[in-house]
Amino acid sequence: NAAFYIFFLDLLANTSSYSSYYVCIFVSAGQMTDLIHTEKELVQSLREYIKAEESKLTAVKSWASKLDALTRLATSDPEGYLAHPVNAYKLMKRLNTEWSELESLVLQNPSDGFIGNISVHRQYFPDAEDETGAAKALMRLQDTYQLDSEAFSKGKLPGVHSNAVLTVDDCFDMGKTAYNDADYYHAVLWFQQALKQLDDGEEAVVTKAEILDYLSYSVYQMGDIPRAIELTRRLVAVDPSHERAGGNLRYFERLLSKQLNEMNQAYQPASEEPIQLGTYTRPKDHLPERESYEALCRGEGLQMTEARRSRLFCRYQDGRGSPRLLLKPMKEEDEWDSPHIVRYLEMLSDEEIEKIKELAKPRLARATVRDPKTGVLTTANYRVSKSAWLEAEEDPVIERVNQRIEDITGLTVQTAELLQVANYGVGGQYEPHFDFSRMSDVEAGGATVFPDFGAAIWPRKGTSVFWYNLFRSGEGDYRTRHAACPVLVGSKWVSNKWIHERGQEFRRPCGLTEVD
What integer pLDDT is reported at residue 29 of this predicted model?
57
Handedness of CA 109, 113, 118, 119 (dihedral sign): positive
One-character DSSP codes across 352-401: HHHHHHHHHGGG-EE--EE-TTT--EE-BTTEE-EEEEE-GGG-HHHHHH
pLDDT tens per residue, range 363-397:
887 555 455 566 554 555 544 567 889 999 999 99
Q: Are residues 7 and 43 in the same domain?
A: no
- DSSP assignment, residue 25? G
What per-residue confidence (pLDDT) applies to 351? 93
Supply the range of the domain harboring residue 36: 32-120
Mean pLDDT of the chain: 83
Q: Which amino acid is at 440?
A: S
| Separation in Å, CA 499 to CA 87, 107, 211, 466, 503 | 93, 67, 53, 10, 9
More confident residue, 2 or 128: 128
| φ, ψ at 162 (rounded to 5°) | -135, 180
Q: What CATH number is associated with residue 322?
A: 2.60.120.620
Q: Are residues 251 and 399 in the same domain?
A: no
The model's pLDDT over 501-513, given as tens digits with 9 standing for 90+, comes to 888 888 888 888 8
What is the CB-side half-sphere exposure of residue 432 using CA atoms within 13 A? 24
Compare 176 and 289 and report the one with higher pLDDT. Answer: 176
Residues 327 and 471 in one domain: yes
Q: Is residue 444 part of a domain?
A: yes
Mind listing the pLDDT tens digit for each residue in 188-200?
999 999 999 999 9
> What is the C-alpha separation between 76 and 71, in angstroms, rounded?
8
**Do 237 and 333 belong to one domain?**
no
The CA–CA distances, whole Å, from 228 to 100, 197, 224, 276 equal: 65, 20, 6, 15
**Do 223 and 258 share a structural domain?**
yes
Same structural domain, 439 and 308? yes
For residue 277, being part of any structural domain is answered with no
* Residue 490, domain member (yes or no): yes
Counted residue by residue, the chain has a size of: 516
The answer to whether residues 293 and 442 belong to one domain is: yes
Question: Mind listing the pLDDT tens digit for each residue in 435-494?
Answer: 533 322 233 337 889 999 999 988 888 999 999 988 888 888 889 888 888 877 777 888
Domain assignment present for 510: no
Measured between alpha carbons, how far is 472 from 76 in angstroms, rounded to an integer? 107
pLDDT band of 317, cuts 50, 70, 90: very high
**Residue 440 within any structural domain of the chain:** yes
- Distance, in Å, from the CA atom of 422 to the CA atom of 420, rounded to the nearest integer, reads 7
Residue 157 shares a structural domain with residue 247: yes
d(CA 390, CA 399): 10
Q: Within a domain: residue 223?
A: yes
Please work out, in degrees rounded to the nearest 5, the angle formed at the alpha carbon of residue 340 by the alpha carbons of 334 and 344: 40
> pLDDT value at position 202?
95
Residue 235, Cβ density class (10 Å: 0-12 exposed, 13-18 middle, ≥19 buried): buried
349: helix, strand or coil: coil
Do the domain assignments include residue 515? no
Number of domains in the chain: 3
Residue among 126, 117, 128, 115 at smallest CA distance from 18 = 126
| 395/455 same-domain check | yes
Residues 6+ apart with CB under 8 A from 443: 6, 8, 422, 430, 435, 482, 484, 494, 496
Do 452 and 304 share a structural domain?
Answer: yes
Closest CA to 404 of 356, 444, 364, 362: 356
CATH of the domain at 256: 1.25.40.10
Does residue 156 sit in the same domain as residue 257? yes
pLDDT in tens, 233-250: 999 999 999 988 999 999
CB-CB neighbours of 251 under 10 Å: 16
Within this chain, do residues 326 and 380 fall inside the same structural domain, yes or no? Answer: yes
pLDDT of residue 10: 60
Say how far apart CA 317 and CA 322 lie, in whole Å: 9
C-alpha 191/C-alpha 193 separation (Å) is 5
What's this model's pTM, rounded to 2 decimal places?
0.76
